[in-house]
Amino acid sequence: MRKISFLGLGVLMLLGVAEAQGPRDQRDLHELQQKFVDLRFGMFIHFNIPTFMNQDWADPEASPALFNPGKLDCAQWARAAKSAHMSYGCLTTKHHSGFCIWDTKTTDYNVMHSPLRRDVVREYVDAFRAQGLKTCLYYSILDTHHKLRPGFITRQHIEMIKAQLTELLTNYGEITALIIDGWDAPWSRISYDDVPFEDIYCLIKSLQPNCVVMDLNSAKYPPEALFYTDIKSYEQGAGQKISTATNRLPALSCLPLNSAWFWKTDFPATPVKDPKMLVSDDIVPYNKIYDNFILNVAPNRDGLIDDNALAALAEIGRIWKNDGSVAELPPTEAPIISPNIAKHQPANASWSDDMNIMDFGNDDNFHTAWQSEYDGEAALV
């Protein structure tokens, strides 16, 4: 009895599509991937309108008047990152509820219409670069305020995404990595067809060729190839675990220092994760397998990092030193960025088991398979 999995068919098919588009400079991308994993350790900064609502998913109609960090100091964030020997930061420019914390021309739902009236992205990149740190940005495709959600995506939504990414990658200097979220995730249900991945990927590369593109939900794909991402990402809190025995891809693992991504009212009085365990269980072992570890540190409603988080970062810096480059990254195939032309297309076979019907070969699910004849002869036509 022989089974043909979607992985076996899909990888070959999609690699063929990618190659058919024309050659890519593998050396350049490989060098960028190496430079990213060489950064070893960075600071994720979830700071947006959910900070002021005590929840990670904000009301999409929340008033911009809520966003009022009276003591905002991005230089404090940068000094805290430096104290832990981090190499870079990554700021949530827009989360799932659509509030933009930069001076965007695409929508009035932004920080310039809040009491702060300051471009937080600008202050962040300036502060981190002043400390010699690299700057990355986070951007959510899912945008509930602008009704950019599954089943309702229009051409205007896609144009808004392109315009916002163009602003972020044009007005703020060199961006080392763009981490994209809310796309092709089980909870967002926005596919790479609804918002065309290849179009967005090529736009990003045209604006900043040296920016690596990272889909935060890429761990759902098999670990043997880079599906729709330059860097394989693993959200540990969601149960996504990278293999410390077999991984050979450039990777990112993320975890919050506190119990959630955005600041909560109990954070100042609640113990954070143990710095020694973060070093021994995350930073050190992951760095050995080409995995860059990013630790989320959530600023409070004043726009400052709490004292207990500052102390934890300083303790990490006391017991761990950033030794620079990691081991040389093994060669990798080009990322798969093109649409899956076989997705949800009908398939025919001379025989199939009803529980493993031939259409499972094209269902875009890596956990199903088509089962052919019992004598072992594949019969897909």
pLDDT digits (tens, 9 = 90+) for 153-176: 999 999 999 999 999 999 999 999
- Distance between CA atoms of 372 and 349, rounded to whole angstroms? 8
Return the ∠ at Cα 364 (arms to 183 and 351), rounded to 5°: 170
pLDDT at 15: 40
Question: pLDDT digit string (tens) for 58-96?
Answer: 999 999 999 999 999 999 999 999 999 999 999 999 999
Dihedral, CA of residue 90, residue 49, residue 304 and residue 69, to nearest 10: 130
Please answer whether residues 148 and 98 qualify as being in contact, where contact means their C-beta atoms are separated by less than 8 angstroms: yes
Contact 244, 282 (CB under 8 A): no
In terms of phi and psi (left: phi > 0; alpha: psi -120 to 50; beta: otherwise), the region of 132 is: left
At 318 the three-state DSSP class reads: helix
Asked if residue 5 has pLDDT above 80, the reply is: no
Q: What is the DSSP string of 109-157?
A: -BGGGSSS-S-HHHHHHHHHHHTT-EEEEEEES-BTTTTBSTT---HHH
Q: Which two tokens mark 268?
A: 């100042």
For 236-275, the pLDDT digits (tens) are 888 898 999 999 999 999 999 999 999 999 999 999 999 9
Angle between helix 74-83 and 120-130 (nearest 10): 40
Dihedral, CA atoms, 323, 87, 182, 244, nearest 10 degrees? 10
Please report the pLDDT score of residue 376 as a whole number: 53
Percent of the chain at pLDDT exceeding 70: 90
| pLDDT tens sequence across 304-347 | 999 999 999 999 999 999 999 999 999 999 999 998 777 778 88
On the question of pLDDT at 231 being above 90, the answer is yes
pTM of structure: 0.88
Which helix (H) or strand (E) element contains residue 254?
A: strand 251-256
DSSP 48: S
Burial class (CB in 10 A: 0-12, 13-18, 19+), 84: buried
- The length of the chain is 381
> Would you state the pLDDT for residue 343?
75
96-107 confidence digits (pLDDT tens):
999 999 999 999
Beta-carbon contacts of 20 under 8 Å, excluding residues fewer than 6 positions away, are: none
- Secondary structure class of 351 (helix, strand, coil): coil
Q: Which domains does the chain have, with CATH numbers?
A: 1-21+345-381 (no CATH), 25-60+67-319 (3.20.20.80)
User: Which residue, among 37, 117, 135, 116, has the nearest Cα to 78 in the 3D structure?
Assistant: 135
DSSP state of 66: G
Give per-residue pLDDT as tens, 164-211.
999 999 999 999 999 999 999 889 999 999 999 999 999 999 999 999
Average pLDDT over residues 12-20: 37
- The mean pLDDT of the chain is 89
Distance between CA atoms of residues 190 and 49, nearest Å? 22
Lowest mean pLDDT among 13-17, 42-46, 277-281, 323-327: 13-17
325-336: b (≥16 Cβ within 10 Å) or e: ebeebeebebbb
